[in-house]
Each structure stands twice: as C-alpha cells, then as structure tokens.
Structure 1
Amino acid sequence: MKEKIILAVSLLMGLAALFLTTRYIKNKEGELNKRLDEIYEGARKVSVVVAAGPIPAGTVITRKDLGMKSIFESAVGSHVVTPDDANLVLGKKTLFALKTEDVLSWSFIEGGAPAAGGLSTLVTPGMRAVSLPIGGAQAVSGMVRPSDRIDVLGTFAFPSKTAPDVMENVTLTMLQDVTVLATGQTTTRQLLSGDRGQRSAAGTGYSTVTLEVSAEEAELLVFAQQMRGSLTLALRNPGDVTWKRDLPSVNFEHLQKALPDINLRRQRDIRHKPNL
C-alpha cells in the first residue's frame, strides 16, 4: 500500500512539473513574441520575387513560375530579385532547384545580375521594344512609369460601314497587358538607381513611352502611328493579368446603344449595388 502511495505521489509531482514547465515555456514564448512585435513595429516591408511553386534546376523561367512576397527591408540584399526586375529573369535558366516561396536571388539565375547596360538588356528574348509618341493625358496624366502594365487603345478615322464615302471615328483596344520598358529616357534600372527626387521626376515630363511587344505587335503599332488618329494608354493594377476577348470597337452608333448596359454593369458588378 505504501508503495502505491509513493507511486501516486510521484506521478502527481511529475504531472505538476510538466504543467509548470509547459506554462513557463508558453509565458516565455509570449514574452518573446511581444518583444519581436516591439522590435518590428513600424519596420518597413518590401516586395520580392519568389518561386510560385517548385522549380527544378535548369528550368527556363516563365511568368507563371514567379510570385511575390513581402519581407522586412533589412533582410533584402542587393542580390535579391525585385518585382521591378522580374522581367529580366524571364527566359533565363535556374542554376539550382527552388522550393515554393524561395526568395529569388540573382545568384540562382544563369548569367547572374544583368550588367548596367542599355535598353536592349531589359528586353525579354524573343520580344521587341517599340517607342510610341505618347505623353500627358494619353499616358494617364504622365503617371505611367517603367514596369507598369497597360492596355493600348487607338482612335482612328475609318470609312463608315453604312456610308463608305463618309469617315467616322472608331476607338478600339489594340493590345492588352503590355509591359512598359521606359518612359522618355528613364528605364526601370535608372528609376531604381536614382535618388528620391529623380524617382519623383521620372513620372512626368516625357513625350514617349517604350513598350515590350512581340514582332507582330510591333508591326501593328508602327502602322497605327502612320494613320490619322491617336493612341492612349490605360493603366492596370500590377497584379492584373486578365484580358477580355472580343472587345467591340466603339463608334457613335455603338456608344448610343451600349451606354445603358455599360452603366448598369458598372453599378451592379463594380459598385455592387443590389437590386439591379
């Protein structure tokens, strides 16, 4: 009987010790987390490029392989690939295997970081750089900047379908989801290397915008510049890679017919107003 009492007491003491130890560890974890929150409170985070999924060594990088993640600025070194430089790694091979959400480093990429060079080093292999005479209101009040994504809209005078001898203005979306390589003489690389004043000035005062397009798209844009009309850029959210199929061209007749439905869709689908 005495042995059973000793065993029971020992067991209770062990459980009490386990409870107290667990409670002590949790308290210390809470203190540590509180201290870390105090340390990092107000610390600035920046976006970096990460692997969107597992990437084997020797993989030719495509846009679908890349994602973004926010980390503390203090953890970002000069070797980390930033979202502004994401286009520079497209078409290049990985030297090492990457796991999901691994931060992309230039040391993981064949050829390493691009040397400071001209615009040609920013053009993705197989693509072309084309400059358009666009500025001011046509470039969203001059706020389009290098690495932005835009749509290109054109307004031209075409023979009327109902009266071929009469010219009518028609607006259509020519290209969707196009990357801006430069505004005026400012490229992404120059924007990143400049001081705060240069970065602020980079968004204004230009009269040309350089886009990254395919060879076929380059022909369309060059031809469009020779026609009577104008080109306008529509700015996108950086993460918006959607596109719309079969967008109609707009003339006065279409404008009259489509406006009621367009306004209805805006209130119902964009402003989410009920009972529409």
Structure 2
Amino acid sequence: MRTVFGLVLLAGLALAGFAVYMAQNYIGAYETALQEERTKSNESVPVQDIYVATRAIQYGQEITAEDVILMPWPKQALPETFFDAEKPILSEGQKTRVALRQIEKNEAFMNVKVSDPGETAGLTSRLERGQRAFAIKVDVASGVSGFLRPGDRVDVYWTGRSNFADKDMPSGDVTRLIETGVNLIAIDQTSQSEVSDTTIARTVTVAASPQQVAALAQAQSTGRLSLSLLGRDDDTVSEVIEVNQMSLLGIEARERIETPARAEVCTIRTRKGGEVTEIPIPCTN
C-alpha cells in the first residue's frame, strides 16, 4: 500500500508541476503578446505626455501638485493649448493656479481653464488685453428669459426715441443693432458657466473695448437695451439693422411735392364813379 501511495503522490506532484509549467508558459505568452500589441499601438498612434487632472476640480479651487499627472495623449487629438514637461502647469517656486472652469477627472489642462500663477478666479482673469468689463441691466424680456450663461455671445439692440432739431432727420421710436457678438463674462455676481438652474438675471457683465463701453453707456442712459443670444458656432457678422414704426408697419414715406411759388402781383385800385380799376405796380417791402 505504501508503494502504491508513494507512486500516486509522485504522479500527483508531476501533474501539478506540469500544470504550473503550462500556466507559466501561457501567462508568459499572453504578456508577450500584450506587450507587442502595446508597442504596435504606440507606433501606429503617436502620443505626447501632457498634464491632466487626477480628480474633478470645481471652479475657483486651487490646483495642487496632487491634482496633476503626466499622461500619454494622442498627438492628433491634442487640445489647442496644453501643459507638458517643457511647459509645466506647476513649477517649483511658482505661485499657485486656480480653476477658471469646472475640470473633470482625466481632462487635459488648458490655458482657458486655469488662471495665471498667483491670480484669482475673478473677472479680471476673463478679460483679454485692452478689454473692459461693463454691466448691462436686464429683465426677463431683455435677458433672453434667464437662459444666458457666462461664455455666451449676444447681440445688443437699442430701443429709444430719436429727437433731432433738423426736420429732415428721422424722428420717433427706433430699434437699432449697436453691438454684435459681445462676450458675456458674468451673470449677476456669478462667472461660472456650469449653472444648471435657470435664473432671471438683473445684470449681465460683458467684455468690451473702451469704445464699445462708451457706446453701451450712452445707449443705456438714453433708451432700453435688449440682448439676442447667438449660437455657439455662429460666426456670421450682422449688418446694420434699424427698424422704426414706419418700416415695421411697411409704410413708405411719401415724397413731398413742392409747388412752384406764384409770382406776387401788386396792384392799386382806382374808382371812377361806379367802376373799379386795378392797376399793377412794382411790389415793395
């Protein structure tokens, strides 16, 4: 019995060793094939290491070293602006940055999504060189029913009464497009673009040049401003648009026909008995 038991034990050990050997060969072959596939994938799709977020970062939050990591990114799908080893998002001795927009996990960091080193997430970070921030009063009608969000673009219309001393100039109520494609940078006191609730704003803040700010200030003090929302991919340029009551109703102005002035004739009347005679004479003032 002992001999039989010993033989069975040896056979079992041999089978177990053979199974381990076959498993090792199978795993080795799988790892080799996987490595070859990865090598082929890297060769067929060129990649570049760029910085992405390791967690979801909310608007205004500070970006720390634990929030960023270098990750391979297909070169054909690189964003317009990005941070890499040559241009790190955080450098040693550099001031911290904050998120200007909500950034999701594994999302690439871009210049428009983070502030400059040491800056906050205020409105100044949304203004380009030469731009100024200007607030426009709106209501439910002029503010597109609360559907405006920071980052949208709008056309600005002015409605008011034109009163000119010159009789040849048009007068009455008129609506005119005064600015087109103006960028919104804040709604009330909020500059976050990721807002889910629809709120009726009282003011919107736009980014404009000093000349545009002067025009908007003059228009707001002399009439009523209304906003028209542009599509996100709309790159058309609006022409000069002006509508008054006559053009709204399709009434054309009648041409005034001037009648020639009649020559003035001066006369004197003389009476001879019952007969009255008119004698023309030169007119004098």
TM-score (norm 2): 0.48
> Which structure exhibits the higher relative contact order, with contacts defined as CA atoms closer than 8 Å and separated by 6 or more residues?
1
From the two aligned structures, give the one with the greater strand fraction. Answer: 2
